[in-house]
């Protein structure tokens, strides 16, 4: 069992104890923790920036594999296409890159 599994088990036990004692309402807690489904597209190496811009305009996040320089170029190209973005380093399928999100989300 990993350290993360141990931490998760401890948190679950704590939540159960607090719920049993009436300190918290576990149903209310679950409602507050719900996250809406997020759509992510993994960009193919030959995907055009117009296509990536189309996904972002529809509120779909896009993962692109590559370096900081590639991300800098992508930000410039998408800006030229009228799409403002936010991005963060990410790993998907064992490959390093960036997760791009529309700036308005």
pLDDT value for 36: 64
pLDDT value for 55: 93
Q: Are residues 45 and 74 in the same domain?
A: yes
Q: Are residues 14 and 61 in the same domain?
A: no
Residue range(s) defining the domain that contains residue 88: 40-102
**CA torsion through residues 72, 67, 36, 12, sign:** negative
Q: In this structure, are residues 65 and 88 in contact, taking their beta carbons and an 8 Å threshold? A: no
Instruction: Single out the residue of 41, 25, 43, 22 nearest to residue 33, CA to CA.
Output: 25
Q: Are residues 48 and 24 in the same domain?
A: no
The 10s digit of each residue's pLDDT in 62-77 is 999 999 999 999 999 9
26-33 and 3-20 helices cross at what angle (nearest 10)?
130
Q: Are residues 26 and 70 in the same domain?
A: no
> Which segments in the chain show pLDDT lower than 50?
none
């Amino acid at each position: 069992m990993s350290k993360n599994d141990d931490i998760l088990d401890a948190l679950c036990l704590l939540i159960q104890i607090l719920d049993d004692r009436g300190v918290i309402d576990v149903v209310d807690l679950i409602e507050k923790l719900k996250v809406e489904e997020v759509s992510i597209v993994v960009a193919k190496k030959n995907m055009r920036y117009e296509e990536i811009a189309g996904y972002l305009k529809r509120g779909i996040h896009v993962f692109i594999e590559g370096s900081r320089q590639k991300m800098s170029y992508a930000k410039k190209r998408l800006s030229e296409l009228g799409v403002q973005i936010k991005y963060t380093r990410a790993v998907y399928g064992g490959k390093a890159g960036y997760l791009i999100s529309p700036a308005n989300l």
